[in-house]
Amino acid sequence: GAGVSQSPRYKVAKRGQDVALRCDPISGHVSLFWYQQALGQGPEFLTYFQNEAQLDKSGLPSDRFFAERPEGSVSTLKIQRTQQEDSAVYLCASSLRGSKAGELFFGEGSRLTVL
């Protein structure tokens, strides 16, 4: 596709449910990032992939969060046993160059609401 595609756009989960959020980056983009954005805040870094390698997962808030990018393209962010504090917009971004975050292309995000 022409841009970064994320699905679902909206997800409502009951506390304790597992959710999976998908990101389809721009074809050929080496780098892929996941961010969490709370209302009225800037994006908070979660994790970074270069191709299929997860080079940094230091931003994942707990071991309930897991991300993968097995073939170096589509990525999935999984949140297990969701909690209310997980409610946020999850943004995925990709960039062409492997080692430069300069111009990130963001998806529309997945808004997660945990009840």
Partner 1 sequence: EDKVVQSPLSLVVHEGDTVTLNCSYEVTNFRSLLWYKQEKKAPTFLFMLTSSGIEKKSGRLSSILDKKELFSILNITATQTGDSAIYLCAVLPMDSNYQLIWGAGTKLIIKP
Please report, as ranges, the residues that interact with partner 1 according to CB under 8 A: 4, 31, 33, 40-45, 48, 56, 89, 91, 99-109, 111
* SS3 per-residue string spanning 26-95: CCCCCEEEEEEECCCCCCEEEEEEECCEEEECCCCCCCCEEEECCCCCCEEEEECCCCHHHCEEEEEEEE
Taking the complex as a whole, how short is the minimal distance between the CB of residue 16 and partner 1, in angstroms? 26
Judged by beta carbon, residue 1 or residue 102, the one nearer partner 1 is 102
Judged by beta carbon, residue 15 or residue 101, the one nearer partner 1 is 101
Task: Phi first, then psi: give them for residue 96, nearest 5 degrees.
Answer: -70, -45
Judged by beta carbon, residue 84 or residue 99, the one nearer partner 1 is 99
Judged by beta carbon, residue 8 or residue 16, the one nearer partner 1 is 8
For residues 114 and 16, what is the distance between their CA atoms, to the nearest angstrom? 9
Taking the complex as a whole, how short is the minimal distance between the CB of residue 81 and partner 1, in angstroms? 25
Task: Phi first, then psi: give them for residue 92, nearest 5 degrees.
Answer: -110, 140
